[in-house]
Amino acid sequence: MILDKLENAERYFSLHPTFAPAFEWLRIKDPGDLRAGRTEISGERLYASVMRERGRGQSAAKFETHRRYIDIQYIAEGSDLMGWAHTGQGLNSLGYDSAKDLEFYTDRPEIWIPVPTGHFAIFFPEDAHAPMAGTEGMLKIVLKVAV
């Protein structure tokens, strides 16, 4: 897991060949012009999911992982609270849904991280995360980067 400001994104370009175009796309887009829902960027290799929502709170946040995608979760407006734990700690899975690339867990995060406006969190397949755990409204862009 990585947490940083958008202005520092270049530091992470070497970690994955699609990180540079993903962050460049974030920088050129006016978040106010984005519609909620899925936005195609580069087919299944890279796409964005735009959310204009209020957080669910810690108790309602779903603890999840993805096997085929890395999440770059960027907070364009407002703030979020995200939970985290490493999957190597023996988390209790509810099963993997390959069609949705989604696996939920019965466990709860061991760490809660506030993510303010202008910041992003990167979650790799081994990073179980519970997004949308804050309680205020936000404009969030989740970039899905194929592993």
Q: Which two tokens stand for residue 119?
A: 């910041």
List CB contacts of 125: < 8 A, sequence separation 6 or more. Answer: 65, 66, 67, 69, 70, 87, 147
pLDDT tens for the chain, 147 residues: list them: 999 999 999 999 999 999 999 999 999 888 878 889 999 999 999 999 999 999 999 999 999 999 999 999 999 999 999 999 999 888 999 999 999 999 999 999 989 999 999 999 999 999 999 999 999 999 999 999 999
List CB contacts of 100: < 8 A, sequence separation 6 or more. Answer: none
Q: How many domains does the chain have?
A: 1
Model confidence, pTM: 0.95
Q: Domain containing 124: what range?
A: 2-146
What's the CATH code of the domain at 121? 2.60.120.370
